[in-house]
Chains A and B, each alone.
Chain A
Amino acid sequence: MTAARSMTLALSLSTLAGCATELPAAGVARGEVLYQNCSQCHGDDGYGSTLVHAPAIAGLPKWYLEAQLTNFQIGWRGAHADDVEGLKMRPMSRTIKSAADVMVVSEYVAGMPAKKSESTLHGDVAKGQAAYAVCSACHGVDGKGNEAMKAPPLTQAQDWYIVKQLGKFKGGVRGYEPKNAAAATMKDISGGIADEAAMRDLAAYIQTLPL
């Protein structure tokens, strides 16, 4: 490093030191501070935002949150040229700087109470219920997910988010990485859903399932 460069570095470091905030060492308090990077889109309560297409994440299980944050970080999710929303989430996941902090923030989000969201797409519940039979093998009859299958709960999800994700799986925009076995499985399943109308029906039925 030349003298000029080390001088620039020293200058910028001393500026940074001036504005560093205190980050609690661990636990919920640390999770709360880390979550400040997320609330802009996912909301203070974790219910998401229709405006920026951010899903409700409050109350999702810790194992799923950790997996998704890691997937975003390493490019297994949200690194596809056509994934408009995923490409927004990808840099955000990288604001969490260590595997330990991924766990801390996941624990915090998992501890937030989940909420049912309002219906926006008004699909056909009866048709959705029939089609959901396939899904129940992994996501459960009650839609509460199954850790052993790595399938997340769906009951808290907004209907537009479910439809969008099913479309992404079907189009190979999510689950494109063969090494990401869980998502690749879901991608294969999504191939069996006929069209967007069928996705809306599924979402309508999933919305009727209690938390």
Chain B
Amino acid sequence: MIEAFILQASSYASQIDALIWMIIVITGVWFFAAEGVFFWLIWRFRARPGGAPARYVDDPEEHALKYKWIEIPHRLILVCDVALIIGAITVWSDIKLSMPATDETVRITAQQWAWTFQHVGPDGQMDTEDDIVSIDEMHIQVGKAYKYELMAKDVLHSFSVPVFRLKQDAIPGRVITGWFKPTLVGEFDVQCAEICGIGHGIMPARLYVETPEAHAAWLASPTHYLAYQF
């Protein structure tokens, strides 16, 4: 359902979506149950001619009611909470805490208001002569696992790739590492997801996930900046 709005283009996108669904279902069921009871009570105990006003009395019958309406749902909600926490921690540790073996590194630098991507060149090594640096466009190969090193030159930015379900803040003075593995060939959006000044809203980049052949062709004759089309 979520992928009808936005494609799943990384190996972990479906995990994030499953977690979001779990949250929607659990909180949704409780939301409608609670609202239902709420409106039912308003209706059930509405003002009527001759009705007796409600009074709080401390008697055994009241205790039984309290148990039924408060304690039981409360405990059920705690069980749901535990389920959510287990789900969230599992996904978090798979995606953010663990660093699987990767095939290649890409260095991402954010600044007001541009993204700079340093790709390893044909030699596969970072920081060598043949590295390809490009502005606002990232070229990667489908099916390869990438390690990214994310930096910011000036203020906070956030590297957000919605189709990857990836969003990671960039912090000046720190190199933040993480990973992704693209699974779909195509052209996707990158956007800055942390207010970073007047140009924040116009700080997009383009992500090209390419077949091995197309990627090899790009490596052979790289583009460095996106031509602008009106």
**A residues adjacent to B (C-beta < 8 A):** 2, 4-5, 8, 40-41, 73-75, 79-81, 84, 87-88, 90-92, 94-95, 97-99
Contacts and interface: CB of A to CB of B under 8 A. Distances in A.
Given A2-B4, A5-B5, A88 B228 contact: no
B216 interface: no
Given A4-B4, A91-B113, A75 B227 contact: yes
Interface stretch (B38-46, B59-67, B176-184, B197-205): B197-205
B225 interface: yes
10 contacts: A8-B5, A74-B228, A75-B227, A79-B136, A81-B109, A81-B135, A87-B135, A91-B113, A91-B199, A92-B202
A99 B153 CA distance: 32
Contacts of A73: 228
B224 A79 contact: yes
Given A75-B227, A87-B135, A88-B113, 14 more contacts: A4-B5, A75-B225, A75-B226, A79-B135, A81-B109, A81-B135, A84-B153, A87-B113, A91-B113, A91-B114, A91-B203, A92-B202, A94-B228, A98-B230
Nearest to B136: A79
B111 A87 contact: yes
Nearest to B5: A4
B198 A40 contact: yes
A112 B114 CA distance: 30
Contacts of B226: 75
A75 B135 contact: yes
B224 to A, nearest CB: 7
Q: Do most interface residues of chain A lie in helix, strand or loop, or is the interface mixed? A: helix
Give chain B's interface residue range (CB within 8 Å of chain A). 20 to 34
Contacts of B105: none
B228 A75 contact: yes
Given A40-B198, A98-B230, A99-B230, A88 B224 contact: no
B191 interface: no
A84 B111 contact: yes
Contacts of A90: 113-114
B33 to A, nearest CB: 26
Interface string B81-124: 00000000000000000000000000001011110100000000
A99 B225 CA distance: 20
A88 B226 CA distance: 15
Contacts of B228: 73-75, 94
Nearest to B112: A88
A35 B225 CA distance: 26
A81 B4 CA distance: 36
B133 interface: yes
Nearest to B202: A91
Contacts of B112: 87-88
A169 to B, nearest CB: 18
B70 to A, nearest CB: 39
A9 to B, nearest CB: 11
B173 to A, nearest CB: 16
Contacts of A81: 109, 116, 133, 135
B187 to A, nearest CB: 16
Interface in B131-176: 133, 135-136, 153
Nearest to B153: A84
B199 A5 contact: no
A94 to B, nearest CB: 6
A91 to B, nearest CB: 4
Contacts of B230: 97-99
Pick the 10 closest A-B CB pairs, nearest first. Answer: A75-B225, A79-B225, A87-B114, A91-B202, A73-B228, A81-B116, A79-B135, A4-B4, A91-B113, A74-B228
